[in-house]
Structure 1
Amino acid sequence: MFTDARQAPTSVVICCYTMERWPDLVEAVAEVDRQAGGRAEIVVCVDHNDALLERAREELPRATVIENIHERGLSGARNTAVEHASGEVLVFLDDDAVPGPGWLRALMEPFADGKVAVVGGAAAPAWPRLRPGWFPPEFDWVVGCSYVGLPVRRTAVRNVMGCNMAIRRDVFKAGLRFSPAVGRTGNDTAGCEETELCIQVHRLWPGVAIVLEPEAVVRHRVPSNRCSWSYFARRCYAEGRSKARVSALVGQQDALSTEWEYTRRTLPRGFGRGLRAAVAGELSGLGRSAAILAGLGITSAGYARGRFVG
């Protein structure tokens, strides 16, 4: 269906909105440029922050810096970048995610297959100090990272993570965009715009593949304020509401197919591991099991609220 795109012109898009992540943004741009050997277009899209826009234009000469011309939020910024970028493959990287060794090569490799429309990589959490003992690895999606339960080898999936993904230009030429009805705005905890887009890709081209390539790894910074129980609860609730919005857009079956499997298999195994660790003397294992139960309950409550109340 598509051509081999491993050597196709590539645009790497990094959307940003806050000065707080400036060091990460600078490091990400430098690492992308190094891995691409100067051959990739780097587009930095600033989401309604004039001071950040001015600084980026002054201090990131290797990047093309643009401002979000659509509604505030990640979806609007990404859609602005789609309209500006020139590459045949658009790579999307979060402004607090720094590529690991060999990231770009690994992310592009699956595009040798003409059936592959979207490729996603893995995200490893960069904790501010130690990982909180109570924080279950099955819930690392709470901090925007790969979680226990995801495939560990290259595999076709329903959707990829937005912090580290590559999408053929053909997807956008077909008229698909990131929906402003879902997705993050500023410091809120919403998401799922990439999930909705991937589902629309499957619907448009039933024969194409969306692939997870775990070898394409970024280091995703976890700020200290996301290591708290209160953030964990807020993010779970927001995820539930986001999934409700996706369900309204694409239907419950497509919106929750992966989540049902995650709930049925991954979470019970994680709960059991936590209990076994506690019995063996690691009391934090009990905390992880409790967090799994709480996270599932809070996410479900958010979904119910979003589905039936709005």
Structure 2
Amino acid sequence: MSDALTVSVVIVSRQRPEALRRCLTGVAQLMYHRFEVVVVADPDSCTAMRDLPQAAHARLVACDTANVSAARNVGIESAAGEIVAFIDDISVPEPTWLHYLIAPFARQEVVAAGGFVRGRNGISFRNKAEWVDRTGKTGPIELAGEGSVMFSATADRAIRTVATNMAVRRSVLADIGGFDPVFRTGLGDTDLNLRLADLGHCTAIAPLAQVHRGANDVRRAKGVARDLSDLGESWAVFLRKHCDEARLPDLLRRLKADQRRRALTRMIDGRLEPRDVRRLMESFERGWRAGLARERALMPRLAHPKEAFRPFVWQKLGPPSVLSGRFWSRSRLRAQALAKNGSVTVIRLSPTGLFHKVRFTNDGYWEQTGGMFGKSERTQPLISFWTFGRRVRSEIDRIREVRGLQ
């Protein structure tokens, strides 16, 4: 793949060294010729990266602030590429991620781009093409095909790109001050989307630019938030910034109703007790009040990088490959995967109707498991009858474009 624009991949991490190692291992397999890696992490995580061979070719920047927007700005100031691409530490990119995400920037009018995000099972999409309005409400955008599409801004809506899979021209990011540090945990990317729209900039959506997002460690193993104060604070700050203050009471009622509905659903599922619902709603309102009281600060232009562009060249990658076998062949397939150089996909199938799952292992290869007769894409029939070979070929065809397979 011939890629002309220089790209800085910024990874922000805080107290999640294992997730960061996995993310950086995945980034090292990117099929893009001219990119550098900037890791902004707490000092302990930076130290933990020293024994990872790939980390020696990245720029590690220590940052101990508990503010994801401020940390991303540190990454932007350290980035020397023409384009800055962002991915979270709990995400892993497909090998072709940068190729598809950066392609729309060949058109000068494109200032930002976003891709699709797969969720915990590695199959279903968590984020696709969406718009967002000034109240933070989102809605789907229907795309025809898998090619990238460019969108112009409108007066009341922006194109939503999520911070774990987005890219922006560095010059524009620096001019507008990057991410607003007032958003310490969430909504900073949505705020950036609206600010870019206010300036009339164009955003592209690239469906084949895909990353896989894992489970967030601020949630319990059951997938239930412990506290909603940060969320309440972010919403208060966001709505004060982008909406008429007269609308805030109605919007607060809408947000509280949404959060209460989610909490009650989890209570019915047995994941929360009644007292937990009350506690969560109290924490949301406490955060809302804190957000209303926060001072808005000026956003100065971000500084130029102090170091020159540093291409990420870890090792020469071999062509992407696929290994397949029966469910009980895990040890053999793992040994074969570790012996290869480059992006490797292992497909292990059992003689069942189990749904498929995909994950990027700590060993640095993709692993897809499930039943030979079960669903991979969730739109497929519950049970389909295949031979082993036909099923493997079907799954290879499903991932061919994003995994860079020939």
Q: TM-score, normalised by structure 1?
A: 0.65
Tell me how far apart the structure 1 counterparts of residues 97 and 142 of structure 2 sit (CA, whole Å).
16
In structure 1, what is the equivalent of residue 71 of structure 2?
77
Instruction: Check conservation: 1:8, 1:88, Cα contact below 8 A.
Output: yes
Higher Cα radius of gyration:
2
- Is the counterpart of residue 151 in structure 1 residue 144 in structure 2? no
- Corresponding residue of 1:29: 24
- 1:105 paired with 2:102, answer no
SS in 2 for 1:8: coil
- Per the alignment, residue 8 of structure 1 pairs with 5
The correspondence of residues 172-187 of structure 1 with structure 2, limited to 5 A, is 172-184=173-185
What is the Cα deviation at residue 219 of structure 1?
A: 0.7
SS in 1 for 2:162: coil
Q: 2:211 aligns with which of 205, 208, 218?
A: 218
Distance between the aligned counterparts of 2:47 and 2:288, measured in 1? 42
Structure 1 ranges of 4+ moved more than 6 A: none
Tell me the amino acid that sits aligned with residue 247 of structure 1.
L
Whether contact under 8 Å (1:57, 1:65) holds in the other structure is: no
Alignment CA distance shift 1:252-1:196 (3 Å): farther
Counterpart residue identity of residue 176, structure 1: G
Alignment of 1:1-310 (within 5 A): 7-18=4-15, 21-37=16-32, 39-46=34-41, 49-59=42-52, 60-68=55-63, 71-127=65-121, 149-151=139-141, 153=143, 154=148, 156=151, 157-184=158-185, 191-203=186-198, 205-206=199-200, 208-223=201-216, 225-226=219-220, 228=222, 230-231=224-225, 234-235=227-228, 238-252=230-244, 302=285, 305=289
**For residue 212 of structure 1, what is the amino acid of its counterpart?**
I
User: Contact conserved, 1:162 with 1:194, CA < 8 A, in 2?
Assistant: yes
Q: Which amino acid is 1:93 matched to?
A: I
Amino acid at match of 1:121: G
Aligned length: 247
Distance in 1 of aligned mates of 2:230 and 2:67: 15
Q: Which whole-Å CA distance do the structure 2 matches of 1:56 and 1:124 have between them?
A: 26
Please, what TM-score do these two structures have when normalized by structure 2? 0.51
> By how many angstroms is 1:111 displaced?
1.4
Deviates further, 6-15 or 243-252: 243-252
SS of residue paired to 1:158: strand
C-alpha distance in structure 1 between counterparts of 2:231 and 2:244, whole Å:
15
Letter in 2 for 1:173: A
Change (3 A) 1:38 1:32: farther
Higher relative contact order (CA 8 A, sep 6+): 1
Q: Supply the RMSD in Å over aligned alpha carbons.
A: 4.1
> Can you give the 5+ residue segments of structure 2 that lack an aligned partner in the other structure?
128-137, 152-157, 270-276, 295-406
Residues in 1 aligned to 2:216 and 2:71: alpha-carbon distance in whole angstroms:
22
Structure showing the higher strand proportion among its residues? 2
The 3 A distance-change label for structure 1 pair 197 and 149 is closer
Match of 1:290 in 2: none
Match of 2:60, SS state, is: strand
The one-letter amino acid paired with 2:214 is R
Q: 1:252 to 1:34 in 2, by over 3 A?
A: farther
Q: CA deviation at 1:37?
A: 4.7
**Identical pairs, percent:** 23
SS in structure 2 of the partner of residue 126 of structure 1 = coil
Alpha carbons of 1:51 and 1:234: their partners in 2 closer, same or farther (altered >3 Å)?
closer
